[in-house]
Structures are given as C-alpha cells and as structure tokens.
Amino acid sequence: MPWAWVGIEARECAATVFEDIVGAAHCITDPAGLRVYECDGLTGTRVRPAAVVLPATTDEVARCVRRARQRGMPIVPRGSGTGLSGGALPVEGALVVGTARMRAILSVDLENQRMRVQPGVINLDISKHLSPLGYYYAPDPSSQSVCSIGGNVAENSGGAHCLKYGFTVNHVVAVTMVLASGDVVEIGSAIADPIGYDLISVVIGSEGFLGIVTEVVVRFLRKPEKTRTVFATFPSTDEAGEAVSQIIAAGIVPAAIEMMDALAIEAIVAATHVDWPLDVGAALLMDVDGVEAEVDETAESAIAILRGCGSIEIRDPRSESERALMWKGRKGAFAAMGRISPNYYVQDGVIPRSDIARVLREIAELSERSGFRIANVFHAGDGNLHPLVLYDARSGDESERAERVASQILRICLKYGGSITGEHGVGADKAAYMGEMFTDDDLETMHYVQCAFDATQAFNPTKVFPSPRLCGDRAGAR
C-alpha cells in the first residue's frame, strides 16, 4: 500500500513523532482516546487511526503533514465529525488532523462583509458573532450548532435556507490550504471576480482530499428586514410535493421550504412537543423573507397556492418562540428519529423538484416491499431528499438490509435524473455508486484534478473514487 506507515512500528511512538509540533496534550494515541475518532456521523463503519493530532495554527498543520508524509502515513482531515458519508472515517495507519482547537475568528471586515476564520469555527458561531451587528452567515445545515466551517467547505454543505441564498460555495470566497507537500497556498480572493481559474470552486466540495483548509474567508449578509414563517399540512406527500413545484413555478423563491412526512412529524412531535397534528400525511414549513414591504404579499401568494393544492390547515406561528420551536423541530428531525427507532440510516439524494410526489410514492412502495419504515424530511425546494431508513441493529442482519434499502433509494434518484448526493458528500459511503452516475472518462478527469493538487493521494485515500466493493460495482478509472 502506498500509504503504509513506514518507519514506526508501535503506536506509542506516534506521540513522540508529533508532540514537539502540537504538544503532548494534543497528540492522541491511546486506544480509549482514539475510539472517539473511529467514525463520523456514519457510525456503522469504524476504523481506528494510528494517531490524532489537534494543531492550533496553519504552521502546525503544515509541519504535521510534512512529518506524516515523510513516514508514508495517510492523512484524514477532521472537523466536528458530523459528516454522514464517512468522509472523516480514518483509514488504516492514518494520522487524523482534527481542527477542534482552530476556533479563532481572525478578522471581520464589515464594509466588505467578509470574515476570516479558522476552520474549526462552528457554523452557528459565525452568525452569533455577527448578529448584534445586524448580519448573519446564510448556509445553515441542520447540524449548524456543532459542525465546523472547514467541514462545510469540504462538503459544500447546504441547509434549509440555501434554496434562496445558495450553498457554501456561494458564501466562501477564499481559503488558506496546506497541501500534501506541506506547502501553504491561498486559493480564491476576498475581492469579487478575481482573475484566473476559479480554483475556490474546485476546493469547495472536494471532501478533504486536496489538502487541509486552515483558514476560511466567508461572505456574510445583512439580516432580512422581515421573515414570515408558514406551516401547512396536507393529506399526503402528493399534494405537498405539488404545492412546492407550483410555488417555485410561480416565481416565488421562499427562503426555505421543507417537507416532512407523517412518520417524520410523529418523531419530531415526540422529541420537541411542538404542537403539530399527527393525523396528516405531510407538512411543509416555509420561510418567506425580504424587505418588509413585500414579505406579506409574497407569503399570501404562496399561501393561495398551498390552499389550491389541498392544504388541510395553514398556520402562522403565534410568537417568535413558537417559530423557533418549529424550526428547532425541523432541524432536530434526524435526532428525533431516536424516539421512534433504535437506529436509522440517513440517505441523501437529489431529484428534480417536479418529481417529488412520484419519487416519494416509489420510496413508500420500497418501504412496503422491504418491511423497513422510511421517514422523509427534506429540503423540498431543492429536491434534496433525506429518506431515513429505520432499523434495529440488534436484530439479525437488519443493518445490512437497511443499507441495501438505502442504496435502492439512490437508484430511484438516478432513474429520475437525480444525483447520489445533495449535500452530505460521497465519502466512503457512496464511493461505490460513483460509477453508476459518472462515466469512466468523468472519473478519470476528476482524478486528474486530484493529482494536480496531490499526486501522492495522501489525503483521505479510499474516499470518493470507486473501487470494486460490492458485486456489480463498476471499478471506475482508478
């Protein structure tokens, strides 16, 4: 293996290799400490790394990378470990470089609406810092209270409000990155439309295999003057899906429009006690925002469409705290599944918005055939599905069967011209499906891009690109 850990036999030695760089307290090699880093949010797959380092500066990251490469160690960057595709899953003999100590806000440029932060800064902390000044950072993954901005960059993370405002790639303008050689490069620019290739868009969404991002420059926005939230219930996901299509087709762009099916509503109500009816087939949670003068008019146009599509009940939250509770319910939906199932597998696929109702019907049929309950809670405006396959890992081979059901959902997405991931990335989990979506030429081109940054493939090996794993997988170009 090109990444075999040459030159160091025993795990204890790892501490001495890196401790002069990061300090002994920030170099983890004991088995109990390493357990924490064995997986990310995809908890069913675990690999114990050889060592974990927690550097504090770009220079420390660069020195750790150089030393790891001298010893042939593969390197796995890690933010908060909330990824759902095994992107931060270690590989055998790897050095995990965690950014948990890199949480400084380095500078704020109010005039140009730019902020420079270290990669371990938590997504929500950017908005918390800016809020008193009347600004916020738009991309809002449901995990925003724990996930890091470095992880967001690597995954090109989205969130409920990305429908109107765009994904991470639309809000990160520059990064500092440590390459596999240990060299430090600046990519992108704090100014608009810099000359040259758009390399920042190559880095964003590259899932940690081009380098380790050590500083991030984000673009932040003024808070909208007014936001109006609307909650609407429907007899089934058919009517709710149709309402989403019609709203967007009418030229209305809500800040967010999220769908939950009956099972998702049941779990959210159980977890948050939000006052939502349980005898409905689906619900939409929508934000309309903008300047005061136009928000109500836009919201009323959208509400007319909701009614026309057969909505049972339409509610405005009665207070800011009820609004916050509704959004807390939606954003906590994955965790809420714990109320109704011991385990769940989060799938992430994309379909054309106009096919939401048809695809949800196919998923319901799959649920019936397989015997697995499948809850749906997702970014309906983007057609970004998150079917949650509920299972009990203690029961026989349910884990494997649930994973197979989840993979069939991806194939349904592909059948409708969609994608195998909307925002959670390919990681280790979906590498096997890349060959179903891309041709060998596509994969080879992607591989050339990777090699332009790092021909040694030091970062995150075994991720993203397919290698034969399951019967029928295409090998891809590697």
Ligand X SMILES: Cc1cc2nc3c(=O)[nH]c(=O)nc-3n(C[C@H](O)[C@H](O)[C@H](O)COP(=O)(O)OP(=O)(O)OC[C@H]3O[C@@H](n4cnc5c(N)ncnc54)[C@H](O)[C@@H]3O)c2cc1C
Residue ranges in contact with ligand X by CB under 6 A: 40-41, 76-84, 87-88, 99, 119, 141-143, 147-148, 150-152, 154-155, 157-159, 207-208, 212-213, 334-335, 423-424, 460
Question: Considering the complex, what minimum distance in angstroms separates the CB of residue 97 from ligand X?
Answer: 8
| In the complex, minimum distance from the CB of residue 60 to ligand X, in angstroms, rounded to a whole number | 13
List residues bridging with 419 in a β-sheet.
Answer: 350
Q: Distance between CA atoms of 367 and 360, rounded to whole angstroms?
A: 10
Q: Which is nearer to ligand X, 56 or 88 (CB)?
A: 88
Structure tokens at 28: 């983890």
- Dist. CA 48–CA 86, nearest whole Å: 13
Residue 208 corresponds to which tokens in the numbers above? 């940690």
In the complex, minimum distance from the CB of residue 217 to ligand X, in angstroms, rounded to a whole number: 14
393 with 342: CB under 8 angstroms? yes
Residue nearest to ligand X (CB): 151
The position carrying tokens 């405002």 is 165
CB of 316 to ligand X, least distance (A): 24
The residue behind tokens 């109704």 is 340
What span, in angstroms and rounded, lies between the C-alpha atoms of 272 and 251?
Answer: 33
Residue placing its CB nearer to ligand X in the complex, 306 or 432: 432
Minimum gap (Å) between residue 161 Cβ and ligand X: 10
**Least Cβ distance, residue 9 to ligand X (angstroms):** 26
Comparison of 238 and 423: residue with beta carbon closer to ligand X: 423
**Judging by DSSP bridges, how do beta strands 95-98 and 75-78 pair with one another?**
parallel
| Distances in whole angstroms, Cα of residue 196 to Cα of each of 99, 188, 371, 409, 451 | 30, 9, 53, 40, 20
Question: Is the CB of 80 or the CB of 272 nearer to ligand X?
Answer: 80
Q: Which is nearer to ligand X, 295 or 426 (CB)?
A: 426
Closer by beta carbon to ligand X, 212 or else 402: 212
Q: Measured between alpha carbons, how far is 30 from 20 in angstroms, rounded to an integer?
A: 17
Q: How far is the CB of 212 from ligand X (least distance, A)?
A: 4
Residue 460, Cβ density class (10 Å: 0-12 exposed, 13-18 middle, ≥19 buried): buried
Helix (H) or strand (E) holding 151: helix 149-155
Taking the least distance from each CB to ligand X, the nearer of 358 and 478 is 478
